[in-house]
Structure 1
Amino acid sequence: MSERDDFEQREFDLRWADGAAHKEPSARARMLAARWKHDPPGPVPFRPEPDRRGARRPRSPWVSVAVVFGGVAAVVLLLGYLDFRPY
């Protein structure tokens, strides 16, 4: 068999497999289906309720921006001071 015939045979097999009426589920899907058959999972909220015990006011994203720019400014000033001081 030539390489082209081999490729066409594989292509045919893939088209045949993709066109199957029944597709077997993955091993994980089969495992979860078996587990959930006897012990179904409970409802899970889309977003869990926040924990209010140690709740803090959410920090503004501008605080992080100010800290970064302040740190960069401090480094620039420090490097400028080291460059201009007399020896």
Structure 2
Amino acid sequence: MEIKVLGTGCKKCQVLESQVRRVVEALDRKDINITKVENIKDIMSYNILSTPALVINEKVKVFGRIPSSDEITRWIKEI
């Protein structure tokens, strides 16, 4: 599984990345690769309107806000 955190380094982007890493660790999912995407052209390719954004297996799950840990957990378990 591939999870991408899209953002240019803002505080909310950093919080989202930390939160995703905590959830993945709590789920003990060693098969998940987490990538931080900071290149604006790469971010724009996902057609999001604002950051931070969370992409799981190339599907945008949320943008413009920090989802709860429960939301992130649910999205991971849905895959």
In terms of fraction of residues, the more helix-rich structure is 1
Higher relative contact order (CA 8 A, sep 6+): 2
| Larger radius of gyration between Structure 1 and Structure 2 | 1
In terms of fraction of residues, the more strand-rich structure is 2
Compute the TM-score of the two structures, normalised by the length of structure 1. 0.23
Compute the TM-score of the two structures, normalised by the length of structure 2. 0.26
